[in-house]
Amino acid sequence: MGRRSSHTAGELRELILEASTALISEGGLASLSAREVARRIGYSPGTLYNVFENLDDLVLTIEGRLIDGLAEELDKVPMTTSPTEQARALGRAYLKYTSEKPKLWNLLFEHHLPAGRSPPAWYQQKIDGLMQRVEAVVAPLMPESDPADVARSAQVLWAGVHGITSLATADKLSVVKCDGAGPLVDLLVEAYLAGLKSAKQG
């Protein structure tokens, strides 16, 4: 049929991303299919491949937006309180963001590139950006420690919060009830940071 021109290239791209995001939000990565996206936006399957290299490319783009969205939420956390309070707020923000659209966030863990391929450089940069936000909060709590120790402590804190939210939103590993995850995040942040302090003093 040839050019349709009812949408600009940018609009078409947005249409595809919106439809894909909606599908994943409802049923996870397994519900995403190029043909279903094409159906929903009224184009043929081939059109997706004019805009994205393939489904992996499309999914990576969505993942990038998810990470950006979390970074924005973390930036809203006020930095005027005590470091421990900041860390708790950071953890709560992570929990809130990821449990509001759990299937979408789960995309970061469900989706794997084919064997040899590694994620693009911008992807790792976005992840690093998240980590830096955590380090900035942990650093004041460890004034005597070198940067490598601060980085490790931040990684552990981050991973711990991730672990709680991951198990809370998992449908099969419900060692944690989703409603009760908030207090668990608080407990982790408080006990872990208290332990860090006492170790440094002792």
What minimum distance in Å lies between the beta carbon of 55 and DNA? 4
Query: Are the C-beta atoms of 138 and 150 separated by less than 8 Å?
Result: yes
Tell me: does residue 133 bind a copy of itself (CB under 8 A). Answer: no
Tell me: does residue 194 bind a copy of itself (CB under 8 A). Answer: yes
Tell me: does residue 27 bind DNA (CB under 7 A). Answer: no
CA distance 5 to 132: 43
Chain residues 50-69 in contact with a copy of itself, contact rule CB under 8 A: 63
Tell me: does residue 112 bind a copy of itself (CB under 8 A). Answer: yes
- B/e letters for 11-37, b = 16+ CB within 10 Å, e = fewer, are ebbebbbebbbebbeeebbeebebeeb
Stretch touching a copy of itself by CB under 8 A, among 38-46, 50-58, 85-93, 118-126: 118-126
Residue closer to DNA by CB (options 36, 85) is: 36
Tell me: does residue 190 bind DNA (CB under 7 A). Answer: no
Tell me: does residue 99 bind a copy of itself (CB under 8 A). Answer: no
Residue closer to DNA by CB (options 8, 201) is: 8
